[in-house]
Amino acid sequence: MLYELFLKEIEDYLEVRIEGERTMAAVITAAREITAICKESNIYKVLIDVREFKGRLELSESYDIISGKFPKMKNNEINLQVAIVDDVKFKIKYRFFETVAQNRGFNVRLFGNVEKAVKWLR
């Protein structure tokens, strides 16, 4: 496996830390896995820390994932609120991801630190 998920339920949200190699396949598979875990656990808020998810996707790959793969995963039974924490030096790239995701109807925000992400989730 190219990545590993570390899960911790904290009060009213699920904290997920991803370690490993960031590829299109890994991002798609991890998103499916996290969505399934949330659905099974009836948790609708999730903080995903990707700072140890090594590598970067190209902007075109991010766009393809959000526009092509994520909508197929969208489930009307579950509407997740997702806070993603990434290294602040990649702010321009993750703002693009956030904007495209929000334009596609996903409730997602990206942050440079955990504290701000938790505050938004609550």
Is 121 inside any structural domain? Answer: no
Question: What predicted TM-score, i.e. pTM, was given to this entire model?
Answer: 0.88
pLDDT tens for 106-122 read 899 999 999 999 999 99
Residues across the chain: 122
Is 70 inside any structural domain? Answer: yes
SS3 45: strand
pLDDT tens for 34-74 read 989 998 999 999 999 999 999 888 888 888 888 876 655 55
Is 64 inside any structural domain? Answer: yes
User: How many separate domains does the chain show?
Assistant: 1
DSSP assignment of 64-113 equals HIIIIIHHHH-BTTB--EEEEE--GGGHHHHHHHHHHHHHTT-EEEEESS
Is 81 inside any structural domain? Answer: yes
Q: Which domain holds residue 82?
A: 3-114
Q: Are strands 107-111 and 45-54 parallel, antiparallel or unpaired?
A: unpaired
